[in-house]
Structure 1
Amino acid sequence: MRLYLLALNPTDSVTEGFLPAAARLGLDITVLTDQPDAHRAAYLEYPDIEVLDCDVRDFRAVVTRISTHLRPDAVFTNSDHLQTQAALTAQYFGLPGKDWRATLRCKDKGEMRRHLAAAGVDTVWSAEVTESADLTGPVVHDAPYPCVIKPREGVASEDVVLVDTASDLVARGKDILARRPGATLVVEEYLPGELYTLETLGDGTVRHVLGGFHTQLSPPPYFIEERLTFVPAHPEQVVEQVLAQLDALDVGFGACHTEFVVHESRARIIEVNYRAIGDQCDLLLAQLLDLPLFEHILRTHLGEALPTDLEFRRNGAARLEYPCAERAGTLVDAPIATELTVDGVHLTYRSLRGIGERHELYRTNRDYLGVLRATGTDQEVVDRVVAGFLATQRWEIQP
């Protein structure tokens, strides 16, 4: 059976998660990407993987590339940017996949807000800005401050900023539009509350809730995710509210990573990423739950039903930490990759930036210097061991 996997840049989710899972399932793998050299370099351990050049942002190019190659049995992507293209391609070939309308609603943050409001499940003040003149025009005249400005189809908290005044909105908006010519921005009311995630897995009929994370963000006005602590089970009322919003969006096939806030017992969606959680959280989740997560996700795209009673470990504790650069410059000293067990807590540290690399300060997860994954059975012990490990490490950036 042949799996076509659509990708932009190589990611840990694909390289360490989905490709090994596809190999274990005995699938023939063809990667379609607009960055073939980067993928070939990343897959040296998988010489049988076929990598083909393709304009994967255009579903018509994807359809043509597949129809002139080998017959597909599944079309899949874990990229935020390519969910609609994969869904349309799967539909074209009559294969299982997500509803392209649902993938579009999730990717387009303005459309998501309109759809949730029309469905009567949540109404958030929201407006779209396409040019600098809109920042002082009637479209934002009644904007409730503080509010958030962000790219309509952005990812990873990039260019997501909290603004307190109309002048701040103009300044931030012009800055983002200058860096993103042709982009559309969403301005929406700020939703207070603690930030959490809900991780779900479905086959279109059955849906399983795998738990979630409590997210600690950087200080405002930015929204960089600095720490995630595993939550085995959110309160039932919270889960019901989030699932009702996902149902309104028709989300229920494959993996979904939903970010939401809880304020005064009310759960409100921030964004829906219709794919598996990233930044190595999915790798941790599979390990922590003792669950073949990546295989299950791929099986749904092969048309297989999920078990009605999905068995996975429910008593684990975990935390992820992302040491971040605090200034632009060249990384001259940093810890090496490490894997060890301390007081029953398994630690895995991986570098995300090489010694000698120079970077600007992005105010996004591109500022991550590394990622520390920690799993155990007692959250207090996990937290203590993580704090102890980080206290002994050093990251040095020179201008």
Structure 2
Amino acid sequence: MLNHKPYVIISHVVNAAVIEGFIPAAQQLGYPVVVLTDHAMAHNQALDASVRVIECDVFNPLSILDVLTGWGITPAALFSNSDHLQTATAIAASALGLPAKPWQICYAAKEKWRMRQRLQTLGLPSVWSTPLLPDTTPQDDWPWPLVVKPGQGVASMDVRLVHDRASCEAYLAQLPVRQTLLAEAFMSGPLFTLETLGDGNEVVAVGGFDVELSPPPHFVEMAARWSGEQSTRWKQQALAQLRTFGVGFGVCHSEFIVTENGPVLVEINYRSIGDGREFLLDRLLPGGWFTPILQLHLGQPLPPVKPAAGEALIHYVVAQQSGVLQQAPQPQPAPGLRYRPLRAQGEAVTITHSNKDYLGVIYLEAEHREQLQQRYAATLASLQWEIAP
């Protein structure tokens, strides 16, 4: 059935999850789709004429409301999958009486220092932290080593382990623009994620990934295994922390480090998991991934969450140096194997020590863990990417 009220998606930069995931899912639900974005030209190039794209200052909730009013649009739902736009979208949706995430929690989750403050106020597990303002001078008595990260950063951009005051000052001095940063105590231990869905009344843990990181001082995600040992063991304890924090309605992707005292939040991304893992979940979960998320914003109750059948992991092919990509092989078709190239042969690559360094994504699925591991080893052994300086 075609619905006349559109499903409005708020977007910043062009993103595969929105273009290839959420928009097709909204259309399959029978809704015309309107995209509000501050990058209208890029979105028009990525979408066909069935999607109306409107230029808007999407960081401002009043601008979102004014544009909708000016175009005579009464949305069926208002949704964003952008890290940066959760607060603005929540405020605008609330103003229209639509299902919305609590904007105060969206803000507290996005701003990392505010997240640490809220964890401390609520008595939840956390670590020492302090904001690094442009005029802040690191101190010798801080609990080194520390992790320095942007206050609202994404994708591991500009995240660095520093061991003392001198190395911290040296790192800060090399940054081209001194933005507001956060320094927090380094946590040693395995990393896992928790993916949650909520309808405003109930929050459930769909599952999580055990994540392999590159060696410090950088923190690039190299691979992730669905329902690994850590995410399975600590799922309920991590879920309890998120509920206490205030995460409820909609989809949320959170990361935890397992310390000697149990899981401690690294960050809360109050949107869907990304980096290709959303597409893996859409195939892996019996109810899909994109559609149930959109249905929550239509006011529909949380659907039954059925566990994934089988094992799955995702491997990121990460550039090891800057240069020109000379060899970009494609894996041979095989059962349980998919590959998503992110860089083309002949393309220039500049190392950023973040997920911007990914050359491609390998998806592997199998009936059991031993079979998955065999496919993983065989796939990596058969491929080699080459970058010429």
Q: Report the equivalent of 2:128.
A: 125
- C-alpha contact (below 8 Å) 1:289/1:316 kept by paired residues: no
Does the residue aligned with 2:317 lie in a helix, a strand or coil?
coil
- Cα distance in 2 for partners of 1:88, 1:233 equals 38
Note closer, same or farther for the CA distance 1:291–1:234 as it changes in structure 2 (3 Å cut). Answer: farther
Q: Report the equivalent of 2:333.
A: 340
Q: Report the equivalent of 1:320.
A: 314
Q: Report the equivalent of 1:156.
A: 155
Following superposition, the deviation at residue 292 of structure 1 comes to: 2.4
Alignment gaps of 5+ in structure 2: none
Alignment of structure 1 residues 237-316 onto 2, 5 Å: 238-264=234-260, 266-307=262-303, 310-316=304-310
Q: Report the equivalent of 1:360.
A: 350
Does the residue aligned with 1:87 lie in a helix, a strand or coil?
helix
- Cα distance in 1 for partners of 2:332, 2:100 equals 37
- Cα distance in 2 for partners of 1:232, 1:145 equals 30
Give the counterpart letter for 2:164 in structure 1.
Answer: T
- C-alpha contact (below 8 Å) 2:14/2:43 kept by paired residues: yes
Following superposition, the deviation at residue 372 of structure 1 comes to: 0.5
- C-alpha contact (below 8 Å) 2:192/2:231 kept by paired residues: no
Q: Report the equivalent of 1:68.
A: 70
Over aligned residues, Cα RMSD in angstroms? Answer: 1.7
Does the residue aligned with 2:334 lie in a helix, a strand or coil?
strand
Q: Report the equivalent of 1:19.
A: 23
Following superposition, the deviation at residue 252 of structure 1 comes to: 1.2
Does the residue aligned with 2:234 lie in a helix, a strand or coil?
helix
Q: State whether structure 2 residue 342 is matched by structure 1 residue 378.
A: no
- Cα distance in 2 for partners of 1:81, 1:339 equals 38
Which stretch of the first structure deviates more once superposed, 108-117 or 7-16?
7-16
Q: Report the equivalent of 1:83.
A: 86
- Cα distance in 2 for partners of 1:95, 1:79 equals 18
What is the TM-score when the length of structure 2 is the normalising length? 0.94
Does the residue aligned with 2:136 lie in a helix, a strand or coil?
helix
Q: State whether structure 2 residue 218 is matched by structure 1 residue 222.
A: yes
Match of 1:53 among 32, 52, 55: 55
- C-alpha contact (below 8 Å) 1:125/1:143 kept by paired residues: no
1:235-257 superposed Cα distances (whole Å, 9 cap, x missing partner): 77722331232123211111111
- Cα distance in 2 for partners of 1:61, 1:73 equals 18
Note closer, same or farther for the CA distance 1:117–1:242 as it changes in structure 2 (3 Å cut). Answer: same
Following superposition, the deviation at residue 119 of structure 1 comes to: 0.6
Give the counterpart letter for 1:304 in structure 2.
Answer: Q
Q: Report the equivalent of 2:7.
A: 3
Give the counterpart letter for 1:59 in structure 2.
Answer: P
Give the counterpart letter for 1:42 in structure 2.
Answer: A
Match of 2:183 among 183, 187, 191: 187
Give the counterpart letter for 1:392 in structure 2.
Answer: S
Does the residue aligned with 1:135 lie in a helix, a strand or coil?
coil
Following superposition, the deviation at residue 311 of structure 1 comes to: 4.3
Note closer, same or farther for the CA distance 1:173–1:252 as it changes in structure 2 (3 Å cut). Answer: same
- Cα distance in 2 for partners of 1:144, 1:255 equals 34
Q: State whether structure 2 residue 143 is matched by structure 1 residue 144.
A: yes
What is the TM-score when the length of structure 1 is the normalising length? 0.92
Note closer, same or farther for the CA distance 1:203–1:256 as it changes in structure 2 (3 Å cut). Answer: same
- C-alpha contact (below 8 Å) 1:135/1:173 kept by paired residues: no
- Cα distance in 1 for partners of 2:241, 2:162 equals 26
Q: State whether structure 2 residue 37 is matched by structure 1 residue 33.
A: yes
Tell me the number of residue pairs that the alignment of Structure 1 and Structure 2 aligns.
384
Following superposition, the deviation at residue 327 of structure 1 comes to: 0.9
- Cα distance in 1 for partners of 2:360, 2:122 equals 41
Give the counterpart letter for 1:96 in structure 2.
Answer: P
Following superposition, the deviation at residue 303 of structure 1 comes to: 1.0
- Cα distance in 1 for partners of 2:62, 2:332 equals 44
Following superposition, the deviation at residue 233 of structure 1 comes to: 7.6
- Cα distance in 2 for partners of 1:94, 1:142 equals 49
Following superposition, the deviation at residue 331 of structure 1 comes to: 1.3
Give the counterpart letter for 1:68 in structure 2.
Answer: G
